[in-house]
Amino acid sequence: MAYNGFGTATDVLTSGGTPNFPSFQPADNAENSSTATNSFGSLTLGATTQNTLGYEILVNVSIDVTAAAGATIVLGVGPSTPPVTNAVTDSFTTSGQLISLSAIVPAGYYILVDTTGSPTIAATTTQVCPL
């Protein structure tokens, strides 16, 4: 049964008792995001970190910059250490800014997140999700 905007939630979710959406399969316990984040750990700015988890991951990094004058954030992902980096921000000046970036890191590859221009960093938060 097609949803016409006037049906019930049951009409939307099922069609003759059959779900109208693909089945959901949770990730294996070894690959859920909590395990991935705990196993990968957190990134230290300026330090190369290798993905040793055995599967591809999405790394989300939030950097709390409290002060900066002419700073940039650089990111690199590659098969050797240190990976080649590229600027992911234009040069910026701020008295407070949260910068978020993401990178896909294949198994065995390295990631490097760093700064130029000596910004003052209050905190760096890392979240890792298996792909």
pLDDT, tens only, 43-99: 889 999 999 999 999 999 999 999 999 999 999 999 999 999 999 999 999 988 999
pLDDT of residue 30: 46
User: How many domains are there within the chain?
Assistant: 1
**Residue 116 belongs to what domain range?**
28-130
Residue 17 has pLDDT above 60, yes or no: no
Residue 14 has pLDDT above 80, yes or no: no
Let me know if residue 16 belongs to a domain.
Answer: no
Let me know if residue 56 belongs to a domain.
Answer: yes
Place of tokens 């196993």: 39
Let me know if residue 12 belongs to a domain.
Answer: no
